[in-house]
Amino acid sequence: MSKKTLRGTRLKRSDVSMPEGAVMTQNVVDADMPPMPEQHLLDQQLLQVLESMNIPKAKVQEMLQQPNQKKWQLVWGQYKHKVRHTPGHYLNSLVAHLEARDKQRRKKSKSLKLPSGIESPATILRNIEIALRTNPLSWVKEFIGYEPPYDEKDKTVTRRSGGLNILMEYFASMSDSTR
């Protein structure tokens, strides 16, 4: 086989040359993975990970029967995966868009002025979609039950709460602005 391959071409095991005595495995071990904890700690951590992933009890029992190396890879992979942003980050950005639209309507202005650093609504909505699919169930629950911090200084500000409520309000404001 030539050294040049087309992008997306799948190699067969026979196409890969390996040193004599080497064994090909599908287990990829992270180079900076810490040593595996003791059995009882590993099982405890695995149960926490599986609970956060909302895995059915039958599958949990099956996962507990896996070899320790597989368990540790799953646990470490979850700990290594960090949540990029809290639900508040996305929801506060949507609220900033809602408030800018409200201000625009009150002043009957044609231009929408947003605070600096706020992403476009399309980007925010796309990131919310990805976050809802990829973050643990606890993140989704935090999104749904979102309560913004109370501002002691400005008690006149309308506090929007609940991730789904904020999303629905944003979508309603979009349909109102197209009329």
Global pTM reads: 0.54
Average pLDDT, the chain: 75
pLDDT value, residue 101: 81
Q: In which band, very low, low, confident or very high, does the pLDDT at 177 lie, cut at 50, 70 and 90?
A: low
Q: How confident is the model at residue 52 (pLDDT cuts 50, 70, 90)?
A: confident
Ramachandran bin of 15, using left for φ above 0, alpha for ψ from -120 to 50, beta for the remaining angles: alpha
Instruction: Kindly state the average pLDDT of the residues 96-101.
Output: 85
More confident call, 163 vs 117:
163
What pLDDT is attached to residue 20?
A: 38
Q: For position 168, what pLDDT does the model report?
A: 92
The type of residue at 49 is V
Burial class (CB in 10 A: 0-12, 13-18, 19+), 80: exposed
Distance of CA 71 to CAs 46, 50, 106, Å?
7, 11, 57
Please provide residue 69's backbone torsions phi and psi, each rounded to the nearest 5 degrees: -60, -40
Of residues 8, 98, 27, the one with CA closest to residue 66:
27
| pLDDT for residue 143 is more than 50 | yes
Look at 10 and 167; give whichever has higher pLDDT.
167
Tell me which of 139 and 12 has the higher pLDDT: 139
Q: Is the pLDDT of residue 93 over 50?
A: yes
Instruction: Please report, rounded to a whole number, the percentage of residues in the chain having pLDDT higher than 70.
Output: 73
Question: What pLDDT is attached to residue 31?
Answer: 62
How far is Cα of residue 34 from the mean position of the Cα atoms in its chain?
24
Side chain identity, residue 118:
I
